[in-house]
Amino acid sequence: MKSIELAAPLRLRAPAKVNLGLEVVARRPDGYHEVVTILQSVSLFDTIDLLPAPALRYTPPAGLERESDLLWRAVRLAEERFGVRLRAQIRLEKHIPLAAGLGGGSSDAGTLLGALAALAGIPLDEVERAAAALGSDVPFFVRGGTALATGTGTDLAPLSTPPNVWFVVVAPDLVIPAKTAALYGALTPDHFTDGVATRRLAAALERGDTLDPDLMHNTFTPVLREWDAVSRAIDALHAAGAQVVLPSGAGPSVFTVVPSQAVANAIADRLPAGIGRVYVCTTVARDSNASALQAAVG
The contact pattern for ligand C5P, residues 118-147, with x = CB under 6 A and - = no contact, is -----------------xx-----------
Counting contacts by CB under 6 A, is residue 26 touching ligand C5P? Answer: no
Member of 35, 147, 240, 257 binding ligand C5P (CB under 6 A)? 35
Does residue 8 have a known ligand-binding role? no
Which span sits near ligand C5P by CB under 6 A: 7-15, 27-35, 120-128, 167-175? 27-35
Instruction: State the residue number with the nearest CB to ligand C5P.
Output: 136
Counting contacts by CB under 6 A, is residue 33 touching ligand C5P? Answer: yes
SS3 236: helix
Beta-carbon contacts of residue 203 (< 8 Å; ≥ 6 apart):
none
Q: Report the Cα–Cα distance between both ends of the chain, in Å, rounded.
A: 22
94 is catalytic: no
Q: Please, what sign has the CA dihedral across residues 48, 52, 56, 59? A: negative
Counting contacts by CB under 6 A, is residue 184 touching ligand C5P? Answer: yes
- Distances in whole angstroms, Cα of residue 120 to Cα of each of 18, 125, 244, 274: 29, 14, 42, 46
Q: Please, what sign has the CA dihedral across residues 39, 61, 75, 7? A: positive
Catalytic: which of 46, 69, 108, 137? Answer: 137
β-sheet bridge partners, residue 246 = 255
Write out the catalytic residue numbers. Answer: 17, 137
Q: Could you list the residues that contact ligand C5P (CB under 6 A)?
A: 32-33, 35, 135-136, 152-153, 180-181, 184
Binding-site residue numbers for ATP are 97-107
